[in-house]
Amino acid sequence: MAVRFFGQFLLENGAINAEQLLAALSYQEKMNLKFGDTAIHLDLLDKDKLAKIFSRQRSEDLKTGEAAIKLGFMTQAQVDQVLRAQKNSHVMIGEALVKTGALSDAQLSEQLQAFKKDQDAYQFSSGLPRQKDSTGLAAPAVDLAMKLLMRLASLPVKLLDLRYSLTEARGVTTYTARVAFTGDHEGEIALRASDRLCAQIASAMLGEPVAPDAKSAILDATCEFLNVVGGNLAAVGARQGKKVELSTPRSGDVPTEGRNIIVARLGTPDGDIEFIFVVGEASKPYGR
């Protein structure tokens, strides 16, 4: 057993079937409007301003409402109005399963208790030991990767664990995007995931569907995603008084020989993503 999402738990334990889960997810997506969609519905933003907000978020670690205020598109009172509207209409997956007839209220309560008990053993702290994160940049890098996967790619993620070595991916086609950095420290950040998950990220970044076998488009888009993470990490470094300069994003295997490595395994409903933070000079050059 491992850290999972509630829907996965129900499916794996036979409480619901795949068709019922998909119906509930569809209902949840329909009901749970994002901040930007809610603001447009309330006539507080238009599509052009929302596009400018998304562009700002690619270069700065800001929530949508924070970016809207910073750009002068909304006031704090208007942001609060949108947040209240979102909260009042928000539907959790359990409620969606009840609304679509997959579970009764009593069954939901019973399954939630079982899920909590199952997951209690997997409560995880994201804190990195100081000796593993001597740069002070790994923890914020992981945090940024998770935030941006949710904000830019609409992927719900959970930090499953931290590892200090990179194993070979087996049994599934994967893509790896990499961005090297220099400055006060030398290393790189990387993202490795299945072709299916990378296609989801690419589709979100490009604003159009991308097939899992469209390797070139996927690599370009996932490299761009990682470049956004790196740009935000450089801003974090600047606030800490550290110089972080990024190289051009590339793809290819991550050299690990003689380097300190931290691998954050991020769980999503469609599989795991490995976010990799490496410190030390690469023993071999980039390869595409």
Spatial separation of the C-alpha atoms in residues 171 and 59, rounded to whole Å: 35
pLDDT at 210: 95
Q: Where is average pLDDT lowest: 119-123, 131-135, 139-143, 257-261?
A: 119-123
* Predicted confidence band of residue 283 (pLDDT cuts 50, 70, 90): very low
Strand 250-251 to 174-183 pairing: antiparallel
Please report, for the chain, the start and end positions of each structural domain, with discontinuous segments joined by +. Answer: 6-121, 138-279
User: What CA–CA distance (Å, rounded) separates 118 from 89?
Assistant: 29
Q: What is the mean pLDDT of residues 41-60?
A: 93
Structure tokens that stand for 136 in this block: 């002070």
User: What class is the 138-279 domain?
Assistant: alpha beta
Q: Is the pLDDT of residue 142 over 60?
A: yes
Q: Calculate mean pLDDT across residues 210-227.
A: 94
Q: Provide the whole-model pTM.
A: 0.76
Higher pLDDT, 187 or 123: 187
The span from the CA of 105 to the CA of 9, in Å, is: 17
Phi/psi for 265 (5° steps) reads -90, 115
Q: What is the pLDDT of residue 116?
A: 83
Task: Give alpha helix (H) positions in 101-248.
Answer: 105-119, 138-151, 195-206, 215-239
Q: Does pLDDT of 49 surpass 50?
A: yes
Q: Which two tokens stand for residue 185?
A: 């420290």
Closest CA to 197 of 178, 218, 223: 218
pLDDT at 123 over 60: no
User: In a 10 Å sphere around its CB, with 0-12 CB exposed, 13-18 middle and 19+ buried, how is residue 35 labelled?
Assistant: buried
Helix (H) or strand (E) holding 148: helix 138-151
Mean model confidence pLDDT for the chain: 89
Contact 166, 271 (CB under 8 A): no
pLDDT of residue 177: 95
Q: Strand ranges (DSSP E) for 14-109?
A: none
